[in-house]
């Protein structure tokens, strides 16, 4: 497929009400042709409902969904020409791999003679050449995932939706598949909308990530911007591995954490309730050679945890709050960390000093490692 073939998606103030709850609350979102966008949010944030509205399984209470130059709000699913990869894979258990992949061709009444070539081409895309005659029950989880992918793209859809497609795979396979999906996206050139609750996955794969909370779109940006300039504490707590500490505005570019003044390169938001988001990788052990503008924090080492590829240090601050930093586990990093109970000064660059308005956090982070 040609890159120019892919279509943009325009979600125009879409709302969905179930009884008294708003599953989607006035969501407006434009996706460029060929873009890879993730919908990220905790369960119940509305990301699956939004995907349902795109796929035609959920009719919005108000608003419109456009794909390319077509209003698809009320179009039945089978006329939308959108490839969907389901969380459960939804492979037909009574059909072979080949029959599963040929299903969209049969449904479109394409001449039977063209099936074998298209099926083998789609299977080759996901590196399952020659699997046509296998039964679904003979496949591993990763292989099923690939068949589901092949089936969703055999009819050259211009838009592909994926609903947590990797959540049933083990960690290692998941990371391999993330890279493969990225490459596949580049090869196909189709627009991909990807639902996940795993922030790392979203950041790894996407051109842009849309963060949803309680049916509302909180922020949509590139992974870099989300990480360096989160809009509020919800986004800051969702992206990366951060500690949030209450701070008080001191002037346009600085805040007070206890008695310590911290400088930021971005203007401090005008909000009565502010939080400092310290990302675990951005906190450094203080070194005389550092930039003199670095913010410094005096702490006491509480715990040092060896995590294989990295060491994690838990630090008590003077006011009792706990922050932590992570360093690659090479010998030099070890040398710099004093024994438990000793004092340690850590540094945070003004560029990495992120101040956000307090709008609540997600539940305790699941991705701590």
Partner 1 sequence: MKSTALAEHNALGNSRDASLRYRRREHMLMFILMSPAVLIVFLLLIVPLAWLIIQSFYVGDGVSLEHYRRIFTERVYWNTFLLTFRISFVVTLLAFLMGYPLAYAATVLPKRWAIVILAIVILPFWTSVLVRAYAWLILLQRSGVVNEALMGVGLTSAPLSLVHNELGTIIATVHILLPFMVLPLYATMQKIPRDLLMAGASLGASPLHVFRWVFFPLSLSGVLAGVTLVFVLCLGFYITPELMGGGRTVMASMLVSRNIQLYSDWGAASAVSVVLLMCVLVIFYVVSRLISLERILGTK
The footprint of partner 1 (CB under 8 A) covers 55-57, 76-84, 86, 88, 90-94, 103-104, 106-108, 151-152, 155
For 232, residues 6+ apart whose C-beta sits below 8 A from its C-beta are 218, 219, 356, 357, 358, 359
Minimum distance, C-beta of residue 178 to partner 1, in the bound complex (Å):
22
Residue at token pair 């005659």 = 133
- Please give the helix or strand (H or E) that residue 359 lies within, else none: none
| Spatial strand order in the sheet of 254-257 | 260-263, 254-257, 242-251, 274-279, 354-357
Minimum distance, C-beta of residue 271 to partner 1, in the bound complex (Å):
42
Minimum distance, C-beta of residue 318 to partner 1, in the bound complex (Å):
54
Minimum distance, C-beta of residue 174 to partner 1, in the bound complex (Å):
20
Print burial letters for 324-339: b (CB count within 10 Å at least 16), e (below 16). Answer: bbbbeeeeeeeeebee
The DSSP bridge pattern shows strands 191-196 and 159-163 to be parallel
- Tabulate helix, strand, coil % of the chain (nearest 5): 30, 35, 40
Tokens of 80: 């939308």
Minimum distance, C-beta of residue 74 to partner 1, in the bound complex (Å):
15
State whether residue 338 is helix, strand or coil: coil
Nearer to partner 1, 114 or 367 (CB): 114
Nearer to partner 1, 136 or 275 (CB): 136
Alpha carbon distance 28, 189 (integer Å): 24
Minimum distance, C-beta of residue 164 to partner 1, in the bound complex (Å):
12
Nearer to partner 1, 26 or 156 (CB): 156
Alpha carbon distance 284, 294 (integer Å): 10
Minimum distance, C-beta of residue 75 to partner 1, in the bound complex (Å):
11
Tokens of 256: 């007070």
Nearer to partner 1, 51 or 184 (CB): 51
Minimum distance, C-beta of residue 157 to partner 1, in the bound complex (Å):
9
Say what angle helices 171-188 and 115-125 make with each other, to 10 degrees: 130
Nearer to partner 1, 9 or 152 (CB): 152
Print burial letters for 198-228: b (CB count within 10 Å at least 16), e (below 16). Answer: bbbbbbbbbebbbbbbbbebbbbbebeebbb
Nearer to partner 1, 18 or 306 (CB): 18
Nearer to partner 1, 99 or 316 (CB): 99
Nearer to partner 1, 103 or 253 (CB): 103
């Amino acid at each position: 497929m040609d890159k120019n073939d892919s279509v943009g998606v325009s979600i125009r103030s879409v709302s969905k009400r179930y009884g008294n709850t708003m599953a989607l609350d006035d969501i407006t979102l434009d996706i460029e042709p060929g873009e890879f966008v993730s919908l990220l949010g905790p369960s119940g944030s509305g990301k699956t409902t939004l995907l349902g509205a795109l796929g035609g399984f959920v009719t919005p209470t108000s608003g419109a969904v456009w794909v390319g130059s077509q209003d698809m709000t009320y179009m039945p699913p089978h006329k939308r020409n959108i490839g969907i990869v389901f969380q459960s894979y939804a492979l037909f258990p009574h059909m072979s791999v080949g029959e599963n992949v040929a299903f969209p061709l049969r449904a479109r009444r394409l001449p039977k003679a063209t099936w074998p070539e298209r099926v083998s081409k789609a299977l080759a895309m996901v590196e399952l050449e020659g699997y046509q005659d296998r039964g679904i029950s003979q496949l591993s989880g990763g292989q099923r995932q690939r068949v589901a992918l092949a089936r969703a793209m055999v009819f050259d859809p211009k838009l592909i939706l994926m609903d947590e497609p990797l959540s049933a795979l083990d960690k290692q396979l998941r990371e391999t598949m993330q890279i493969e999906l990225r490459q596949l996206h580049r090869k196909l050139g189709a627009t991909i909308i990807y639902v996940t609750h795993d922030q790392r996955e979203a950041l790894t794969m996407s051109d842009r990530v849309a963060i949803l909370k309680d049916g509302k779109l909180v922020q949509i940006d590139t992974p870099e911007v989300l990480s360096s300039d989160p809009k509020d504490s919800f986004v800051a707590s969702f992206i990366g591995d951060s500690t949030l500490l209450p701070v008080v505005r001191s002037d346009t570019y600085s805040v007070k954490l206890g008695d310590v003044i911290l400088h930021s390169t971005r203007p401090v938001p005008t909000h009565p309730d502010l939080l400092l988001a310290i990302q675990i990788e951005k906190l450094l052990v203080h070194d005389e050679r550092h930039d003199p503008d670095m913010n410094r924090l005096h702490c006491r080492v509480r715990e040092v945890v060896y995590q294989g590829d990295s060491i994690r240090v838990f630090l008590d601050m003077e006011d009792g709050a706990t922050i932590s930093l992570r360093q690659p586990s090479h010998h030099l990093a070890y040398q710099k960390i004093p024994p438990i109970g000793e004092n340690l000064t850590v540094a945070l660059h003004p560029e990495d000093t992120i101040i956000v308005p307090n709008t609540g956090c997600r539940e305790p982070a699941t991705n701590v490692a």
